[in-house]
Structure 1
Amino acid sequence: MKKLLTPLLAAALGLTLLSGPAADARPAPAARWHAAWGAAPQLPSTGFTANWSQEGFSRQTLRQVVRLTEDGDRVRIRLSNAYGTSPLAVTGATVARTTTGASVDPGSVRHLTFGGERSVSVPAHGELRSDPARLDVGRLDSVTVTLYFAGTTGPATFHSQAWTDSYRADGDRRADTDGRAFTARSQSWYYLSGVEVSGGTPPAKGGVVLFGDSITDSFGSTPDTNRRYSDALAERIDAPVVNAGIGGNLVLNDSAWYGERSTARFRRDALDQPGVTTVALLQGLNDIGYSEAALKPDAHPTYKPSPVVTSAELIAAYRQLIDAAHARGVRVIGSTLLPFKDTSHWGPTAERTSAEVNHWIRTSGEFDAVVDFATLLADPRDAKALNPVYAHADRLHPNDAGYRLMAEAVAPLL
């Protein structure tokens, strides 16, 4: 029979029993934070669409809208100056629940602090988190993060392809609740690399990071509708989902436009996300295809570097990522490369190398699980091409329906 520790016995043992108010004085358990949204930082660059990364900001307010994949009653943001060559002075920042466009819920505006101060300097090549702010947020709600720069920032660390509008206004508009002053728009994110939440309903599963290139980044999804691959997955599972894709990104080489190589950014963008337990890896098509694309008469100047990459080189890099994840206790789901015949990346070398890579992903047993996108999204009439039903106009990327199908295939593996 289990014995109860009575006050008399406790006194004999030299112990003190806590009850009532004294028991409540015990330290509360540490808050458990989850990455509820993220964007992989990139070098300032021209990009495929106009953006503000190279000019930066000066006496301007920047307002950015992001969709969270976890609920909570406390929110903090992560700012990145990873590619800044001087400290970034942020005069002030707010977070609020989004209503429409650049407008926010008036009762939800919270001024953020950093070490107790409203202004902060983010070191060159560094990042930092804000203090927690009390704000009730629901899963799949959108929040608006507003940054004010009283000085001149210089070129801005950013994420090129957001697939949603960000807004800019002159002067200090951080506490504005309507969006009338925000007359300039861009479809990129700047400095904001993460939003984390705490205090909500514990998710049924650990956090998931989708890691890869433009397909993970969801090129071809309909802007301002939250129809990315990551959105579709978050709608299907009870777990936080972070999108760590970068359009054009390479596994083996850095790029001026498309970010650091995956083997260099994997820890920062995937493994360091609070609460992550699984990474879904989909990458390698650009490494394979750029060498073919660079040979075509209308080759885009950004297809550099473009060395011929072997399947053995890619497999060695995949193993490096798998080992890094396993060392942190994180599972890795391997994804076969999508069909890409009749695209700028297609050619005899690319065809052979992609087939070898996909065979290894399917059969090696080195991933914790595998999702076979190459088969799932193949054209029934030609397995080397993307099914038109699921294809964007460029035949290289999926459309909204394709991203939904990918999410449906990954969800049971989590």
Structure 2
Amino acid sequence: MKFFAAKTGAAVSALAIALTMSTPAWAAPERQASWQAAWTAAPQRASAGFEPNWSEEGFTGQSVRQVVRLTSGGSSLRIRLSNDYGPAPVRLTGATVAYAGQGASTRPQSVRKLTFGKAASAAIPAHGGLSSDPVKLDVRPFQSVAVTLYFAGTTGPATFHSQAYATSYRAQGDHSADTAPDAYGQATHSWYYLSGVDVTGGARTGDAVVTFGDSITDGFGSTGDANGRYPDELAERLAATGRPRPVLNAGIGGSLVLNDSAWYGDRSAVRFKRDVLDQPGAGTVVVLQGVNDIGFSESDTPTYKPAPVVSADELIAGYRRLISQAHAKGVKVVGATLLPFKNSDHWGTHAAAVSDAVNHWIRTSGEFDAVADLDRAMAAPGDADVLNPAYDSGDHLHPNDAGYTAMAKVVADRL
């Protein structure tokens, strides 16, 4: 069941470790107190990805418009940009934010020019980030905004988020202030440089919930431009039941607990601080990750070969590192059991045994602050190892929209 009948808007190396362990400017304690993260996307290095995208070519004399839905409201906002995987600074010539319309359009009278240190143009540092100055714009929870970035020069390969399950748009020239969609003749399903939107000046709700994981958190199998990922559904359910909290999606499709990947991002312990603990207002994290660690060695997928054969003890040690990092920052950790995945390309004798052992540990160890037992909730009647056909997107691994709604209910109840 959807709690909102209509969605608003359209939808590694030692160097990497050192960079992700540093504290970005937007997370500095003296600047963080009044800000609440309302949307985020976990940055990735440029790659071919699963479908055509613009990350490897980057942008030259172009505007890129990206539509994102916020899960917290306020009277002012700021954007955060990431060049984490860029070897050189990227010159941003101009940027705007506006209420999203249909497709690439924005609502008239809502366009706001963004500044960075009171300047319209700024450089996003190499291997670093940049946040805009606050801009006055009243936004409500579940309202979509369009962020438009204009690059007059050449960016080179772009730090991006591959699987957005939302449409972004590109135009030749500076069309950052356009409200009409006419110039935006190209589209993609990724986000570029944009890594966060924060709000201030709104009614304070509970601390943010960060959902951390792989493609099941990222939203693979959900309907594009419909905000039907499980974190979206979780935010809606919390609001509908009188417990509104911002929910931030820090999933990366294909990501792993224990290993880095050129396509799938840095391993969990490396990106956890940046993608979870540095998010303004984060108070709880839901960890749902590990099926790729144990399943890639069973799969014929050529994008991660050779895949290490991972034991339950190794994966549990990875979870313990995340729990330790979170608790050191006063962040609570909800452990989610791995979903059933029999008959998928990740299934095999070893994967079956490891998933059973890992799920048993998540349920019984007492090391998480709470447990969301998605394994049992999502299982098919008569075979606990199979994803319920009513929740299956078709590959026996990823849920469909109904499945993501069911997941959100389980997690919301544990929160």
Fold match by TM threshold 0.5: yes
Partner amino acid, structure 2, of 1:76: R
Task: Encode CA deviations 1:326-381: one digit per residue, 9 max, x unaligned.
Answer: 00000000000000100110000000001000000000000000011100000112
**Distance in 1 between residues matched to 2:229 and 2:297, nearest whole Å:** 28
Note the alpha carbon deviations across 1:37-67, whole angstroms, 9 max, x for none. Answer: 0000001001111100000000000000000
Q: Does 1:352 align with 2:358?
A: no
Give the equivalent residue in structure 1 for 2:247: 241
Whole-Å separation in 1 of the counterparts to 2:227 and 2:208: 19
Aligned sequence identity (%) = 63
Distance 1:393 1:343 in 2: 9
1:400 corresponding residue in structure 2: 401
Mapped pair 1:135 → 2:141: no
Q: SS of the residue aligned with 1:270?
A: helix
Secondary structure of the corresponding residue to residue 107 of structure 1: coil
Tell me by how many angstroms 1:304 deviates.
3.0
Task: Note closer, same or farther for the CA distance 1:319–1:31 as it changes in structure 2 (3 Å cut).
Answer: closer
Separation in 2 of the partners of 1:128 and 1:88? Answer: 10
In structure 2, what is the equivalent of residue 266 of structure 1?
A: 272
Select the residue among 36, 43, 53 that pairs with 2:45.
Answer: 43
Which residue does 2:292 correspond to in 1?
A: 286
Give the CA RMSD over aligned residues.
1.0
CA distance in 1, matches of 2:46, 2:404: 28
Aligned to 2:97: 95
Counterpart Cα distance in 1 of 2:400 and 2:199: 30
> How many Å separate the matches in 2 of 1:143 and 1:347?
43
- 1:318 is matched with 319
Q: TM-score, normalised by structure 1?
A: 0.91
* Partner-residue secondary structure (3-state), 2:196: strand
Q: Distance in 1 between matches of 2:180 and 2:295?
A: 45
> Do 1:255 and 1:304's aligned partners in 2 also have CA atoms closer than 8 Å?
no
The residue type equivalent to 1:279 in the other structure is: V
**What residue number does 1:213 align with?**
214
Determine the structure 2 residue equivalent to 1:15.
none
How big is each residue's C-alpha offset from its partner over 1:248-278, in whole Å with a ceiling of 9 and x where there is no partner? 0000000010000011000000010000100
1:291 aligns to what SS in structure 2? coil
Within 2, Cα distance between the matches of 1:134 and 1:283?
37
Structure 1 distance, partners of 2:102, 2:376, is: 39
**Amino acid corresponding to residue 297 of structure 2 in structure 1:** S
- Count of aligned pairs between the two proteins: 380
- The match for 1:302 is 303
Whichever residue aligns with residue 244 of structure 1, its letter is A
Quote how far apart the aligned CAs of 1:106 are.
1.5
Residue 231 of structure 1: aligned partner: 232
- Choose the corresponding residue for 2:79, options 77, 80, 83: 77
1:95-122: CA deviation from partner (whole Å, max 9, x where unpaired): 0011111111111111000011010001
Distance 1:190 1:30, change over 3 A: closer
Moved over 2 A (4+): none
**How many Å separate the matches in 2 of 1:30 and 1:317?**
29
**What are the within-5 Å matches in structure 2 for residues 178-197 of structure 1?**
178-197=180-199
8 Å contact kept, 2:379–2:387 = yes
Equivalent position of 1:65 in the other structure: 67
- 2:327 is paired with a residue whose SS is helix
Matched residue, 1:253: 259
